Chain A
Amino acid sequence: MSETPYRSPQEIIDLYKTEFGAGILDARITERGEGVHRKKGYNIWIRLDRELLKPAIKKLMDIRFPHFAVIAGNDLGDEIELLYILSVFYGTQFGEYMVTFGLRLPKSDLTVPTITDLIPGALLSEREKQEFFGITVTGIPDGRRLFLPDDFPQGVYPWRKDETGIKPEMVRELWAVNRPKDRPAPPVPEKKPVPGDPVAEGKEKKTGGASE
């Protein structure tokens, strides 16, 4: 691998701004201390459209061949957000940083181009998104189901929070399976729920996944 020079996160963002200009909807760097000495670790968040996804990844590959981690998915109600998480290593300790390309797909048109021709390893993640979010990845070499069993009903996308998500009757309450009904009453009566105490009022509203 040719020894490309170290590029600081800010340089990366300037490079992308100059290259794609308006295509970059939003770019920012988050910083947090790592390790005992709170060494600065950077994350670069870039939001762009689906057309710019491939050129952006190709550009990052030219800068320094990234390590593709995963495609994170998020159901934002009327849109589905895909986060392509890649990390760039320079071989020095604490020298790596994460680059995340965020896309927002409207629920009406859930298609995204595949990046397996650039990074073959992304196939599994793409198949998972296809399976769990109902996204159609155009040009995916192997679009079979990966995690869900074969007899799982079509058209049901488990990670979606809308009507195509998991129906309550599909859920199998394991703790209720042949739980003995005729148990004697517990010696200590259960505490009455105190109004205003969130935990006591039962489950919280379902929180989202890795929210932005």
Chain B
Amino acid sequence: MKLTKSFNRSLWVFHLNTGSCNGCEIEIVATITPRYDPERFGMKLVGSPKHADVLLVTGPVTKKMAQKVRRVYEQVPDPKLVMCIGTCGQSGGVFYDSYNLDGPIDQVLPVDVYVPGCPPRPEAIIFGVVKALEKLERLEAAQ
């Protein structure tokens, strides 16, 4: 992944719900409220994957969503990051024994950062972003 200069200034975030119970959504929204205010660091929620750098994926990927998730992932311009929010994406969480799921997110997308928790607290999400930035710096150094 070739890192452009604009990457270390501000990461625009696009939220993608693949069948989650909306708990993580509320936590993501809580994260971008003035109390935690990631906008100071340039983290902004954007409306279309075409403007995004980071893809925030929540929920276990249901069968019907799998193909759409791949298409949205491809529509995010390079370089990009994928963050899986909540345990559903990692191990199915409360939907662990469902018949209608296409497995955790890393079966569908290459995931960079996992933020466990059902739902993860805003501090956990921001810590996840910090982990993502560290990973970017490692990548940039390696480049």
Question: Which A residues form the contact surface with B (CB < 8 A)?
Answer: 148-149, 151-152, 158, 166, 170-175, 177
Contacts and interface: CB of A to CB of B under 8 A. Distances in A.
Nearest to B64: A149
Interface stretch (B90-98, B111-119, B124-132): B90-98
Contact of B63 (A149, A171, A177): A149
A175 B98 contact: no
Interface stretch (B2-10, B74-82, B100-108): B100-108
Given A148-B100, A149-B100, A166-B99, A174 B64 contact: no
Contact residues of A: prevailing secondary structure: loop
Contact of B96 (A148, A151, A158, A174): A174
A175 B96 CA distance: 6
A177 B97 contact: no
In the complex, which of the residues A148, A170, A172 has the most CB atoms of chain B within 10 Å of its own CB atom? A172
A171 B60 CA distance: 14
B136 to A, nearest CB: 26
Given A149-B64, A174-B95, A174-B96, 9 more contacts: A148-B100, A149-B63, A149-B100, A152-B63, A158-B99, A158-B100, A171-B99, A172-B97, A175-B91
Contacts of B97: 171-173
B99 A177 contact: no
Nearest to B93: A174
Given A149-B63, A149-B64, A174 B99 contact: no
A171 B98 CA distance: 5
